[in-house]
Each structure stands twice: as structure tokens, then as C-alpha cells.
Amino acid sequence: MNKLTWNIIWLIFDKLITLLGGFLITVLTARYLGPEKIGIINYFLAILAFIVPITQFGGDILIFLKSAKNEQSGKMLINHTKNMRRLLFTVSFAAIYLFTYQDYNQYDRLILVILGVASFYQSYDLYKFYFNGVMRSKENVISGQAGVLASLLLRSIFVFFKLPYYFFALPYVALYIIPFWYRKYRIKAKGIETAKYATQFKGYFLKNGFPILISSLSILVYIKVGQIMLGTFLTNKEVGLYTSALTLAQCWQFVPLALIMSFISKSVSSSTFKDKGFRLCFLASTLCSVPFLLATYFLAQPIIEATYGKAFLEAQSLLFLLTLTTMFSLYGTISSRIIIDAGGNKYMMMKSLVVSIMSVGLSYWFVKEYGLIGAGYAALISEAVSGTVGNYFFKKSNIFKLQYSMLMSKKDILSFVKG
């Protein structure tokens, strides 16, 4: 098997083990804590999620794309961002903590601080994007599974001993701190030393990272705004119901994401197979979506009952909507890589800003008018626009053509995989 095939296998193995173990323990935890308590944790996670793109400053995409073309460039970008990321995280977390201080008790604030530590390591870890870019996903699999195992073990212990809800923030720290230190060590052990400071990269990073930052924040707005609006206008119970349905709706996407990351990594480094690889990404996402769309449309109630239990039955109305939303989200992931690879950073920034503004308006109106189900409709409309028509005005790459011509012959698929 070639390098591409092995990379796909490692990525799928990583996500599959995470799904089987993580999903079961997540369900167990949700059943123990109930919608309201799990909603508090998820509400803080939704707010802290904004720290990640701010701290990374577009480094996730830049390092992935640069590493796929030139390993040394990826290493230099990792090295260059260290001090800046520390400063950005400190300022961002301090602002969030002060903003939420008056509205929560001491135990809730303790959860926020613990989750903040987890958020730091999640934000600061750019090594994983380097390894994905150079198709060494094995390193990410090993480190990621160690973090997942520790996180799941802690959750199981906390449920078994019936510990208070604020203990359940600790597993998130284990989830990110273990992979970070492992990847950092492996980079040195393999002789992939972080490069010395190069002034020519500073201008490049700031110029190209800022549009991606704005784009990432905008994308995060229309992903998380539903949860934030539910917590603001309704209660943390609705946040818990929404995130539970979202977890189920996204549980299958590890397969298309593994294919997407591997296909794009190969596509951006090859002019011969570029369009074939992009079309194959859209095809894989669509084919993987179909069985789950059918299952969540016809079997929403038994799926919720069998996983989260009767306390979460109100979430069944969201399941199909959020599964369809996940499919369009995959389209958006592919399109963003295509546009950025073609130098469309500013286009991505403007598109994401427009969609995020639209999403805030939709979420505000839909949640106030229709409650829980309104958040689902707002998310679906936003992701549909972001994954399709919002990309069609980019002139350097015909994404509309890539999407409608996604059906490929077996010969074309094999020529790309083997090429």
C-alpha cells in the first residue's frame, strides 16, 4: 500500500477508536449528569471554542498546506507562532473569564478555569497539523489515543464514584495535554527540529493568517451561535439537548474527514491530480452521509432513547437537521482548503463574515420564535450557504463545477489513489 492509503487507514483507525470509546463514555456521562449540568459544561466549551482560532491565528491551515508542499516551511511557521500564541491566549481567556464572572457560582467558575487549561493546550498544539500535512498521521493517532484513553478513564471513574459535576472538566485537560507533549517530543526525537526564527516568515504569517483568523472566527460563530443563543434566551437544559443531538449527528464524520485530509494533502502537492482529488472529496462526503441521513430521519426517537435516554427525547427533532448540517459542513471544509490553496484568503474572510452575520440574525430570530428546533434550522441554513453557494463566486477555482461533477469513474478514482 502507498503512503496515501496508509495515511487514510491511520486517520480512520484514530477516529474509529475515539468514536467507539468516546461516544459510549460521553453518553454515560450525559445520562449521569443530565441535560442541565452537561449543558453548563457545553456552554463554557462553546464560548472557549473562540479562543482556539484566535490563538492559532490561521496556523492550523497555513501549517497543513505549507507542510504538504514543503516540510521546512511548516516547521518555521510552528516556531514563529509560539510567543504570539501565548499572548493571544492569555488576553482572550482573561476577557472571557471577566465577562462571565458575575453570572456563575464558584463551582461553575472552577469549571471554566479547568476548561481554560484544556483550551490552552488545544490551541497551542500546531504539531498535529504538521504531521497531517506530511502524511504522518500515525503520530497523531498514537498521541490522540493516549489522550482519549486517559480522558475516558477519568470520566468512568468520576461516574462510578458519583463525583460532583465540576470534576468532569478535568478529562478535557487530559484529552489535550497528553497529545501535545507526545507530539512535541516526537518532533525532536525524529530530528524534525523546529526551525530558527526567519524574519521573512513574519510578514507572510501575519498577512495570510489574519484573513484565516477572521474566517475561522466567523465559521465558529455560525457553528456555536445556536448553543450560545439557547443558553442566553432559554436555559442550559436546551444547550445540553442541542449538543447531545449534535454529538450523534456528527459521530460518523470521522470517515469522510480522514479521506478529505489525505486527498487534499495529495491534491495540493500535485498539479496532475488536483481536480480529481477535490471531486473525490465531495463524492466521499456525500456517499458517507446518505445512510446516516436515512437513519436519523426514520429512527430518530429510538436512537435517542438507546443512547442518551428518555431525559433527552426532546432532542430527537434536531437529529436529522443536524446530520444534514454536518454534510454541508464537510462541503465547507473541502471548499475552504481549495480556496485557500488558490490564494483566496481574503475571499474566505469575506464569505465567512457574511455567513456569520447571517447566522447570528437567523439564530436570534429562530431561537426566540421556535426555541430548540429553531437553532437546528438556523445551523442548517448557515452551513448550506457556507458549503455551497457561498463559494461559487470565487473565480480562481470553479467549486460549483467540482461539486456537480463529483461523480467519478472507477478508473479516475484508482488513478488518483495510485498516482
Asked whether residue 308 carries a pLDDT value surpassing 60, the answer given is yes
Could you read off the pLDDT of 162-178 as tens digits, one per residue?
999 999 999 999 999 99
pLDDT at 91: 96
Cite the DSSP H helix spans in 161-253.
170-189, 199-233, 236-250
Arithmetic mean of pLDDT, 382-403: 93
Quote the pTM value. 0.77
Q: Residue 310 belongs to what domain range?
A: 3-418
Q: What is the mean pLDDT of residues 108-114?
A: 96
**b/e burial code for range 191-224 (CB count within 10 A of at least 16 → b):** ebebbeeeeebeebbeebbebbbbbbbbbbbbbb
What pLDDT does 346 receive? 86
pLDDT tier at 130, thresholds 50, 70, 90: confident
Please say if the pLDDT value at position 413 is more than 70.
no
Tens of pLDDT, residues 190-232: 544 444 555 676 677 778 888 888 878 887 887 789 999 998 8
Query: 205 vs 270, which has greater pLDDT?
Result: 205
CB neighbours (10 Å) of residue 117?
Answer: 16
Q: What percent of the chain has pLDDT over 70?
A: 87
**For residues 364-383, average pLDDT:** 96
Residue 85 confidence (pLDDT): 84
Q: Are 220 and 49 in contact (CB under 8 A)?
A: yes
Count up the domains in the chain and report the number: 1
Residue corresponding to grid cell 463524492 = 283
Question: What integer is the mean pLDDT of 283-310?
Answer: 94
Greater pLDDT, 40 or 204:
40
Model pLDDT, residue 315: 95
List phi, psi (to 5°) of 405: -105, 25
The mean pLDDT value for 185-190 works out to: 68
Task: Give me the sign of the Cα torsion angle 13, 43, 368, 390.
Answer: negative
Least confident segment among 32-41, 132-141, 346-355:
132-141
Contacts of 399 (CB under 8 A, 6+ apart): 335, 338, 339, 391, 392
Q: Are 383 and 322 in contact (CB under 8 A)?
A: no
| DSSP state at residue 195 | P
Give the span between the Cα atoms of 360 and 278, in whole angstroms: 30
Of 39-48, 79-88, 288-297, 368-377, minimum mean pLDDT range: 79-88
User: Given pLDDT bands bounded at 50, 70 and 90, which one contains residue 368?
Assistant: very high
